Amino acid sequence: MSKLRITVLERKGRAVIANKFIKEGELILTESPLISAQFTWNKEYGYLCCDHCFLPLESAQENVRRLAMDVSIVLPKQVNELADQIDQCNNCQAKYCSPKCASSAAASYHNFECNQYKFGGRFYEIHELWKKSHYPPETATIDLVIRIFGMIKQSNSAEVIELLDNFSKHSCNEDLQLCHKMLGEKFSIQLSQIHKEVQRIFGNDDQLAKYISYDGFVSLLAILGTNAQGIGTSSFAHWVQSISEMDMSEEKRTEIDTFIDAIYSRFNDTVGEFLDNEGSGLYVQQSKFNHSCQPNAQIIFPNSNSTLNVVALQDIHPEEEICISYIDECMLSRSRHSRQKYLKENYLFRCECEKCGSQIEDLDVTSEEDETEMDTDEDN
Ligand SMILES: C[S@@+](CC[C@H](N)C(=O)[O-])C[C@H]1O[C@@H](n2cnc3c(N)ncnc32)[C@H](O)[C@@H]1O
């Protein structure tokens, strides 16, 4: 019997329900993305991963030296590196961890994408416009749009469009009078410039017609904005994880933990929170999980690539809804008001989870710290 089924809940739309008892720590689902792409600035700043699956392409030592800006750092222990070769697209030099990833990308979307990007290529202007309006920390990328266009052009377009249509897709929530922040007033000029370019380039393409009108383009961005899952990979994080699994004396463990803390502190001085190869992807099954501010499942990337696992955080009983968190630990610890504000702006819904329900009487107060951080977020 399958562990999961989909049902429809009045206030949340579709929801994933447990069909049987799921034990804490149990794997609920493993899935590769329908499509994914590294964030624009992340790639531009030299965060190096496979252009298809996000596997880091630097060794852990190269990664540490680059992030700490210090070529003299030597890692005290060797672990198995993630990528043992780098494959490259002959045309645009996109880098891959293996011939398999290179050919999967080429067969799915890259043949279309490849010629659009080269300097002066057709997509160059759109890319530049996007970069000017979406600074780090990024939450989305225009590159997903071009890859989706590539999938539509290179494969059975009706099937791809049907898959996309099956994602939750509101750009505005009329009840809450909200528009996705990427689609709101703040970005309206940039959005219309980007759309004009998209229309100029692809306006006569019948296969892409559904997403070329202004409304169609906005609905595609809304699918990405409310469904795309963040992906982050790092060869140093993989090194740290491998070290933590090694047997060693207590003394050696203390020594190596001190070394790791010192490295993270160096990163803090150089790149701050920008440690990972970062991007986002659309996952057909994972996108059906609703959010909870007290989730009973979490998403992990166990292979340092874009394949995700959904894992139970606690025992889950038959008929219980399985929820993940759309927000990070730090945001989860904030007030109901702050969480709701963030979820409304980014995902266009008023959270109906149990934790928010139990805190309904709490004052609608956003702390100063929350205000400052949200102002910064909104600049993106
Ligand atoms: C990624 S989709 C999740 C699946 C979605 N319910 C569906 O029907 O496809 C995200 C959307 O689900 C709804 N949703 C997710 N978590 C929710 C929650 N805690 N309370 C209310 N709505 C929620 C919102 O409409 C949100 O934009």
- pLDDT tens string 139-162: 888 999 999 999 999 988 899 999
**Is the CB of residue 227 below 6 angstroms from any atom belonging to ligand 1?**
yes
CB-based contact 183:225 (threshold 8 Å) = yes
Report the 3 state secondary structure along 12-68. Answer: CEEEEEECCCECCCCEEEEECCCEEEECHHHHHCCCCECCCCCCECCCHHHHHHHHH
Q: What is the rounded (10 degree) CA torsion for 342, 348, 349, 350?
A: 50
Model pLDDT for residues 114-132, shown as the tens digit of each residue: 877 655 577 888 888 888 8
Please, which residues bridge with residue 23 across strands? none
pLDDT band of residue 360 (cuts 50, 70, 90) is: confident
Look-up of token digits 């080269």:
118
CB-based contact 108:155 (threshold 8 Å) = yes
Tell me what pLDDT residue 184 has. 60
Tell me what pLDDT residue 348 has. 78
Q: Is 9 helix (H, G, I), strand (E, B) or coil?
A: strand
Model pLDDT for residues 35-84, shown as the tens digit of each residue: 999 999 999 999 999 999 999 999 999 999 999 999 999 999 888 888 88
Ligand 1 center–CA 48 separation, angstroms: 33
Residue 239: which of 72, 95, 62 has the closest Cα?
62
**Is the CB of residue 168 below 6 angstroms from any atom belonging to ligand 1?**
yes
CB-based contact 146:122 (threshold 8 Å) = no
134 burial level (CB within 10 Å; 0-12, 13-18, 19+):
buried
Lowest mean pLDDT among 224-238, 338-352, 362-376: 362-376
Tell me what pLDDT residue 177 has. 47
C-alpha distances in Å from residue 177, one per residue of 74, 226, 344, 349: 54, 16, 10, 10
- Residue of the CA atom closest to atom 8 of ligand 1: 14
Lowest mean pLDDT among 137-151, 265-279, 285-299: 137-151
**Is the CB of residue 14 below 6 angstroms from any atom belonging to ligand 1?**
yes
pLDDT for 28 beyond 80: yes
Average pLDDT of 347-376?
72
Rg (CA), the chain: 22
Model pLDDT for residues 305-342, shown as the tens digit of each residue: 999 999 999 999 999 999 999 999 999 999 999 999 88
Strands (E), 225-330: 229-233, 277-282, 290-291, 297-300, 308-312, 323-324
Burial 304-326 (b: 16+ CB within 10 A, else e): bbbbbbbbbbeebeeeebbbbbb
Ligand 1 center–CA 345 separation, angstroms: 13
Enter the tokens of residue 254: 């203390």
Element (H, E) at 244: helix 235-244
**Of 65 and 133, more confident:** 65
Ligand 1 center–CA 39 separation, angstroms: 24
Tell me what pLDDT residue 186 has. 67
**Which positions ≥6 away from 111 have C-beta within 8 Å?**
150, 154
Mutation to probe ligand 1, out of 347, 350, 351, 353 (largest number of atoms < 8 A from CB): 347
> What is the pTM assigned to this prediction?
0.91
pLDDT for 379 beyond 50: no
- Residue of the CA atom closest to atom 4 of ligand 1: 288
Q: Is 321 helix (H, G, I), strand (E, B) or coil?
A: strand
- Residues in the chain, total: 380
Tell me what pLDDT residue 118 has. 55
Model pLDDT for residues 167-202, shown as the tens digit of each residue: 987 655 555 444 455 666 667 788 889 999 999 999
Neighbouring C-beta atoms of residue 5, cutoff 10 Å: 12
**Domain spans in the chain, listed from the N-terminal domain onward:** 35-230, 336-380
Mutation to probe ligand 1, out of 221, 291, 308, 332 (largest number of atoms < 8 A from CB): 291
Model pLDDT for residues 203-216, shown as the tens digit of each residue: 899 999 999 999 89
Share of the chain above pLDDT 90, in %: 69
What φ, ψ does residue 76 adopt, rounded to 5°? -75, -15
pLDDT for 283 beyond 90: yes
Cα(278)–Cα(8) distance, integer angstroms = 32
Share of the chain above pLDDT 70, in %: 89
79 burial level (CB within 10 Å; 0-12, 13-18, 19+):
middle
